[in-house]
Amino acid sequence: GGVVIGYAYWFKGERINAVLMDNDRAWEIYQTITSHGRDPAIMEQWGNERYHLQIYPVEPKKDLRVEIRYIAPLEGDGGFLFYQAPISHDGNMPRLESFEGEVRMRGLRRDQVSDSLKLEPTKDESTTEGLVYQVHKEDWHPEKDWVVRLRRSQQTLAAFASGGPSGGRDGFFALVL
């Protein structure tokens, strides 16, 4: 149920930020750039939960660092809402060289939240009330998914919508509940 909202990769120590756009327009730009002897990256959605990312060139004898940003709706069960990062693939995930993840929540207290990795949250400095759960692992074989659960409250649901051009005729919007 998540949606990719951006990605970046590093080349020669520089972060190259991608621009999301319509698939046809992206391939048009890709072909224009490659015809001038340059090689950009391109990512396509191949299905509901499948993406294909093509990056060239990759520096020889260097690690390829890729950042994929996405938003996902919270799921619910009983009196809880939860976010589940699918990182274990039922115990079949190969060893990860590096993994970084972050979940930010506003307007919640520590006693309303739990997480499967038993992390200690920090205070969100960007807001007066909020928690940040961060995980950073090196050479890690996740045996279970990372799940952050919060107890539902009987508060009014607040919504925020944001939109803007992503270059040309393409656009995007995000709705946060």
How does pLDDT run across 101-115, given as a tens digit for each residue? 888 877 777 888 888
Looking at the chain, the whole-number percentage of residues with pLDDT higher than 90 is 0
Structure tokens at 4: 């990719």
Tens of pLDDT along 96-148?
Answer: 777 888 888 777 778 888 888 888 888 877 766 778 888 888 888 888 888 88
pLDDT of residue 172: 55
**Above 50 in pLDDT, residue 165?**
no
In this prediction, residue 175 has a pLDDT band, given cuts at 50, 70 and 90, of low
CB 105 within 8 A of CB 150: yes
pLDDT of residue 65: 82
Sign of the dihedral through C-alpha 10, 124, 116, 120: positive
Strands (DSSP E) contained in the chain are 3-11, 14-17, 42-45, 51-54, 66-71, 75-77, 80-85, 96-106, 113-115, 122-123, 130-140, 146-151, 160-165, 171-176
